[in-house]
Amino acid sequence: MARHPAQARPLEDEAGLDLVEVPAAVVCAVCGRPDCVGCATDETTHPSGIVAIVPWERPTGGWLGRLWSTSRLATVNGEAFFAALPEGDVAPALAFAVAAELAAASGLALIATVGFAAVSPAGLWLLLDPGFLSLAGTASAWGVPALAGVMVGLHVLHGLGLDVGARRHGSGRRGRGLRFGLYACGWDLVTTPLGVALTALTGGPAAAMRAVPLGLSIPARAARAYLRGIHRLDDAGAKRAARSAVALALAVALTLAVVAGAAMLASFTR
């Protein structure tokens, strides 16, 4: 497929090469028709012919590569990514979120196990004990998916809260908060120890050091960029809407935690 000459500005990080501006129209390089979905290649992902700017939603490449590329893009170039986040299906975004959080939670479990063995004199012997390994396996089988589910839920609450906050502060535009929250799960993969280690292997120690503080800074920066780019709020309105989103997400999360805790306590006291 050949695109009209609307070229994207280069981004600072190599991950930014995956983020391109969506062209006004797309024509086939073989037949020249704008409605052709591709005579010789499967480059597009939508019937409209629009090229996906989210690597995860592209049909080419292995899913692991697309997972890592999208996670890096949403983290290292998060402001540009979320400011131009396109509309789309929820299903692929949900699949991305689950895969990213499972990988991040598995990495935390693995690093915690290795760290325990390294710092505790008895840790190495416990790792050789079949009974302990069985217990650890059972705990991981329940704990990793549970942690992943909680993190996906928190990101979704934040994303939906951004749309609520935007409407409260003057936006009349259609939001994409659910997709924002799901793709924001990539932050957890890149900024957890597993992601930092992968960044060091692929980009060197300097890139890994730059990725570490992004876990603290990218949520606020990406949220404001999303509110400015998608909801067209000014800087002041974006900041207020972002604060409202955080407050709303925390309130809902705390409420759900209290309800879940009360339900568990009631089941134990029966």
End-to-end CA distance of the chain: 65
Domain boundaries, the chain: 55-268
Could you read off the pLDDT of 228-243 as tens digits, one per residue? 999 999 999 999 999 9
Which DSSP symbol is given to 139?
Answer: H
Q: HEC string of 39-97?
A: CCCCCCCCCCCCCCCCHHHCCCCCHHHHHHHHHHHHHHCHHHHHHCCCCCCHHHHHHHH
Q: Which of the pair, 131 or 76, is modelled with greater confidence?
A: 76
Q: Is 264 helix (H, G, I), strand (E, B) or coil?
A: helix
Q: Is pTM, for the whole model, over 0.85? A: no
Note the pLDDT of residue 1: 45
Q: Which of 7-11, 117-121, 178-182 has the lowest mean pLDDT?
A: 7-11
Could you read off the pLDDT of 24-80 as tens digits, one per residue? 334 334 344 444 434 433 444 444 444 457 899 988 889 999 999 999 999 999 999
* Residue of 85, 96, 63, 78 lying closest to 191 (CA atoms): 78
Residue 21, judged by CB atoms within 10 A of its CB (0-12, 13-18, 19+), counts as middle
Note the pLDDT of residue 150: 92
Which whole number is the average pLDDT over 209-235? 93
* Residue 119: Cβ within 10 Å count: 8
Note the pLDDT of residue 35: 41
